[in-house]
């Protein structure tokens, strides 16, 4: 059926306002199998011949994973810890936290003995989504899942608190660690040192370091790297080099990250040749350069607009039989996109895939934003399709930018597609995003065509 522009626009706005965060019911009688394309790996004939864990990993989205879970339950399947863990990993990675809570309640009700690793992973995903209180609550509930808390889970939560700026709570947890009977290791101290230094609190970080020594916890190379990184970021390269010598005297061998931080410090104060020279210096000291050191040089060249030289560094890595990782490729893609060379960046994506390096969410996000920033929304839509197929998805801001661009270019089908994909992933516009979408759509609309769509849709909403 061919829809008129008016009908398409009506559908577009209906989709936007109907998006809600939803999870499938956990009642096995309410769940119905999702339709699958012909030839899908988990066909009805062979689905139950393979372990549930394998099928969950193959599921394309959280909705399919939950439906699969219900189908197994209907056939008398009794989930064990690995089954629950696989499902929780899938849901958390897709940020379907409503479903995560449903599954956790089911785990608790069935008195399943859980391992600590799944909770540490959930802390991490909650932290990435800035749902810090949920991570705290889960830490406090861990014993309900027949799970013994150790310093590993405390360290995991501590990292989430610090990364999200909850320093008061982090300090309280750090102090409470001893009361809970944990003997804190260097990881906990390093997390606190890192957090204070990122806040610019040198004195506070030193107090933690002194406490570390008082409690006879041996500083690690990570401890020294935190201080060296802080000094380098603040242009105090000489002090950072002095600290390097001090750590060597105390028997701590610097690693590739140590030298990468010093290289970044050199680039920051304009000593680009010194950064290159440090690559030879680290080899002389018995530390082999890694991708991260080459990445520092690439990033520095990219910032200075020397894209071709950055490419040559990438090729130098290959000559040394060093396989560039996704971070190295992303550096190149990022600076190409910033120079409005999205098409060239897309070629880099192709090159990395041919070389056996898998793109990550950041790769696709930069490319989608790069095409959209250049006004090529059709190109952005092409990359978005590849991104969604790979199991990644953009930020809400990128979705909004694409919808606006596609509306302005008259591609209502494309705009509807974007909103439908958002709906599938339980993503929605908040009121502020929605207002921005309306304003951006109407800005520069001299002939009033987009404005007419907006008016019609607003009237539909009010009706």
- DSSP per residue, 194-208: HHHHHTT-HHHHHHH
Q: Are 258 and 290 in contact (CB under 8 A)?
A: no
Structure tokens at 64: 């399919």
For residues 300 and 305, what is the distance between their CA atoms, to the nearest angstrom?
A: 9
Q: Hey, which of 137-146, 168-177, 222-231 has the most confident mean pLDDT?
A: 222-231
DSSP string covering 122-176, please? HHHHHHHTT-HHHHHHHHHHGGGGT----HHHHHHHHHHHHHTT-HHHHHHHHHH
Which residue in the block uniquely carries the two structure tokens 């139950």?
48
Q: Taking 60 as the threshold, does the pLDDT of residue 285 lie above it?
A: yes
Nearest of 58, 122, 64 to residue 95 by alpha carbon: 122
pLDDT tens digits, 89-104: 888 888 888 888 988 9
Say yes or no to pLDDT of 163 above 70.
Answer: yes
Tell me the CATH architecture of domain 305-387: Alpha Horseshoe (1.25)
pLDDT at 21 over 50: no
Per residue in 23-60, pLDDT (tens digit) is 333 333 333 333 444 444 433 334 444 477 777 776 66
Question: How many CA atoms lie less than 13 Å away from 2 in the CB half-sphere?
Answer: 0
- Range list of H helices, 409-443: 412-424, 431-442
- Other C-beta atoms closer than 10 Å to the C-beta of 277 total 13
Give the per-residue pLDDT at 408. Answer: 78
350 burial (CB, 10 Å; 0-12 / 13-18 / 19+) is: exposed
User: 235's torsion region: left (phi>0), alpha (psi -120 to 50) or beta?
Assistant: left
Domain ranges of the chain: 305-387, 395-462
387-390, long-range: CB within 8 Å, 24+ apart, which pairs?
Answer: 387/361, 388/421, 390/359, 390/364
∠ CA 156-158-160, nearest 5°, is: 75
Is residue 13 within 8 Å of residue 86, measured between CB atoms? Answer: no
Question: Does the pLDDT value for residue 2 go beyond 70?
Answer: no
Structural contact between residues 208 and 192, judged by C-beta atoms closer than 8 angstroms: yes
Is the model more confident about 189 or about 78?
189
| Model confidence at 389: pLDDT above 90 | no
Q: Please give the Cα distance from 385 to 368 (Å, whole number).
A: 10
Q: What is the pLDDT of residue 406?
A: 84
249 pLDDT more than 60: yes
User: Residue 60: its pLDDT value, please?
Assistant: 67
Average pLDDT estimate for 285-289: 91
Best-predicted range by mean pLDDT (98-112, 114-128, 440-454):
114-128
Answer for the pair 117, 103: CB distance below 8 angstroms, yes or no: no
* Average predicted confidence (pLDDT) for the chain: 81
Predicted local distance difference test score (pLDDT) of residue 451: 53
Question: CA nearest 374: which of 346, 416, 411, 332?
Answer: 346
Q: Which residue in the block uniquely carries the two structure tokens 């909650």?
A: 126
Would you give the distance in Å from CA 276 to the centre of its chain? 31
Contacts of 149 (CB under 8 A, 6+ apart): 116, 139, 142, 143, 180
Tokens 């700026």 belong to 165
Confidence (pLDDT) at 276: 92
- Of 431 and 78, more confident: 78
| Residue-wise pLDDT tens digits, 299-353 | 999 999 999 999 999 999 999 999 999 999 999 999 999 999 999 999 999 999 9
pTM of the model: 0.73
């Amino acid at each position: 059926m061919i829809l008129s522009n008016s009908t398409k626009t009506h559908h577009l706005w209906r989709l936007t306002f109907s998006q809600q965060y939803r999870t499938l019911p956990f009642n096995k009688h309410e769940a119905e199998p999702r339709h699958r394309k012909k030839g899908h790996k988990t066909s009805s004939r062979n689905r139950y011949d393979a372990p549930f864990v394998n099928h969950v990993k193959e599921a394309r989205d959280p909705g399919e994973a939950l439906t699969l879970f219900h189908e197994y339950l209907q056939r008398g399947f009794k989930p064990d810890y690995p089954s629950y863990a696989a499902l929780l990993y899938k849901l958390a990675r897709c940020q379907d936290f409503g479903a995560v809570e449903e599954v956790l309640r089911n785990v608790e009700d069935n008195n399943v003995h859980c391992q600590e690793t799944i909770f540490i992973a959930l802390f991490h995903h909650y932290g990435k989504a800035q749902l810090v209180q949920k991570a705290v609550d889960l830490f406090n509930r861990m014993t309900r899942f027949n799970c013994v808390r150790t310093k590993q889970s405390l360290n995991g939560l501590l990292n989430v608190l610090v990364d999200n700026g909850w320093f008061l709570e982090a300090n309280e947890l750090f102090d409470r660690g001893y009361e809970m009977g944990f003997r804190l290791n260097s990881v906990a101290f390093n997390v606190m040192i890192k957090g204070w230094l990122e806040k610019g609190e040198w004195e506070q970080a030193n107090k933690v370091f002194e406490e570390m020594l008082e409690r006879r916890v041996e500083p690690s190379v990570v401890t020294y790297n935190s201080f060296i990184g802080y000094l380098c970021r603040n242009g105090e390269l000489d002090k950072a080099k002095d600290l390097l010598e001090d750590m060597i005297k105390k028997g701590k061998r610097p690693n590739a990250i140590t030298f990468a931080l010093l290289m970044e410090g050199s680039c920051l104060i304009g000593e680009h040749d010194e950064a290159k020279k440090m690559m030879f210096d680290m080899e002389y000291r018995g530390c082999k350069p890694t991708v991260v050191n080459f990445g520092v040089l690439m990033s520095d060249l990219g910032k200075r607009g020397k894209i071709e030289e950055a490419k040559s560094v990438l090729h130098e890595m290959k000559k040394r039989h060093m396989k560039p990782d996704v971070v190295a490729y992303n550096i190149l893609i990022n600076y190409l996109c910033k120079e409005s060379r999205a098409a060239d960046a897309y070629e880099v994506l192709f090159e990395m895939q041919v070389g056996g390096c898998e793109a990550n969410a950041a790769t696709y996000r930069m490319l989608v934003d790069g095409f959209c920033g250049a006004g090529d929304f059709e190109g952005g839509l092409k990359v978005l399709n590849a991104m969604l197929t790979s199991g990644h998805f953009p930020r809400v801001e990128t979705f909004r930018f694409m919808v606006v661009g596609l509306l302005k270019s008259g591609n209502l089908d494309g705009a509807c597609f974007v909103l439908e994909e958002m709906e599938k992933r339980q993503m929605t516009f908040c009121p502020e995003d929605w207002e921005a979408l309306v304003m951006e759509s109407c800005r520069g609309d001299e002939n009033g065509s987009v404005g007419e769509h907006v008016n019609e849709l607003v009237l539909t909403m009010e009706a």
